[in-house]
């Protein structure tokens, strides 16, 4: 009943609050989806009717329990697929996103679970993002942006927004679990890398 479009909306709404707090606005949602604001307003109204989202006119957009469950389902799919492409097919870090974006809507639960088993039920994806379990639970490592960690620390996550930056970082040895200090890197990197707290 829900279809790829609903899945994408819900996933983006979820993603916005995963590492930062504020709920997403309809303008930001439109920007991330590459759609006109008016389209988003209409669709959000439908999602609200379906009980996936709570939203009063001119207010913020937040996921309901059902919406969060669907979002976690999609996040699980996306991250498992990315992990699988990297580990099994030697995709590089920065190439997996587009393929995963499509496949996450297409694989059956059965195939996805088979892939999960084959990978040994990984807890995080190649970017360090936690992979929700089959029952929808997710454990997010305590972490802060490198920009906010003067002493640096162990890399726990690297945002996948900028593929060029990903390649650059990889070539300099900045990968998951590496130890970095803020002084070693540029401004954009500081805002893309999370390190473990304490």
Compare residues 43 and 146 and give the one whose CB is closer to DNA. Answer: 43
Query: Is residue 51 a contact point for DNA (CB under 7 A)?
Result: no
Give the chain's length.
198
Question: Positive or negative CA dihedral for 126, 103, 29, 139?
Answer: negative
Compare residues 106 and 139 and give the one whose CB is closer to its own copies. Answer: 106
**Closest CA relative to residue 15, chosen from 33, 35, 1:** 33
From its own copies, DNA, none, which one binds at residue 35 (CB under 5 to 8 Å depending on kind)? DNA
Q: What 3-state class would DSSP assign to 130?
A: strand
**Closest CA relative to residue 29, chosen from 48, 52, 51, 8:** 8
From its own copies, DNA, none, which one binds at residue 111 (CB under 5 to 8 Å depending on kind)? its own copies
CA angle at 116 for the pair 51 and 129, rounded to the nearest 5°: 65
Count residues binding DNA (CB under 7 A).
Answer: 25
Residues 105-164 that bind its own copies (CB under 8 A): 105-108, 110-111, 114
From DNA, its own copies, none, which one binds at residue 178 (CB under 5 to 8 Å depending on kind)? none
Query: Is residue 54 a contact point for DNA (CB under 7 A)?
Result: no
Q: Do the bridges between strand 179-180 and strand 193-196 make them parallel or antiparallel, or are there none, so unpaired?
A: unpaired
Q: Do the bridges between strand 153-158 and strand 143-145 make them parallel or antiparallel, or are there none, so unpaired?
A: unpaired
Q: What 3-state class would DSSP assign to 92?
A: coil
Provide the strand spans (E) within 74-178.
143-145, 153-158
From DNA, its own copies, none, which one binds at residue 64 (CB under 5 to 8 Å depending on kind)? none
- Least separation in angstroms between residue 3's CB and its own copies is 13
From DNA, its own copies, none, which one binds at residue 26 (CB under 5 to 8 Å depending on kind)? DNA
Compare residues 105 and 154 and give the one whose CB is closer to its own copies. Answer: 105
Query: Is residue 147 a contact point for DNA (CB under 7 A)?
Result: no
Q: Do the bridges between strand 143-145 and strand 62-63 make them parallel or antiparallel, or are there none, so unpaired?
A: unpaired
Which residues sit at the interface with DNA, rule CB under 7 A? Answer: 3, 5-6, 25-28, 33-46, 55, 57-59
């Amino acid at each position: 009943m829900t279809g790829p479009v609903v899945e994408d909306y819900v996933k983006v709404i979820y993603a916005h609050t995963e590492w930062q707090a504020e709920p997403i606005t309809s303008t930001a949602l439109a920007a991330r989806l590459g759609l006109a604001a008016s389209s988003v307003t209409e669709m959000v109204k439908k999602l609200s009717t379906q009980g996936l989202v709570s939203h009063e006119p001119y207010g913020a957009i937040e996921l309901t329990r059902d919406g969060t469950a669907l979002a976690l389902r999609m996040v699980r799919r996306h991250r498992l697929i990315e992990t699988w492409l990297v580990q099994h097919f030697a995709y590089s870090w920065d190439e997996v996103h587009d393929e995963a974006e499509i496949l996450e809507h297409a694989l059956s639960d059965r195939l996805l679970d088979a892939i999960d088993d084959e990978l040994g039920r990984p807890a995080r994806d190649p970017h360090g993002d936690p992979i929700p379990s089959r029952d929808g639970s997710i454990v997010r490592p305590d972490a802060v942006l490198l920009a906010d960690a003067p002493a640096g620390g162990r890399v726990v996550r690297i945002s996948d927004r900028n593929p060029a930056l990903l390649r650059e970082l990889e070539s300099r040895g900045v990968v998951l679990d590496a130890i970095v200090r803020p002084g070693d890197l540029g401004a954009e990197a500081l805002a893309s890398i999370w390190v473990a707290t304490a």
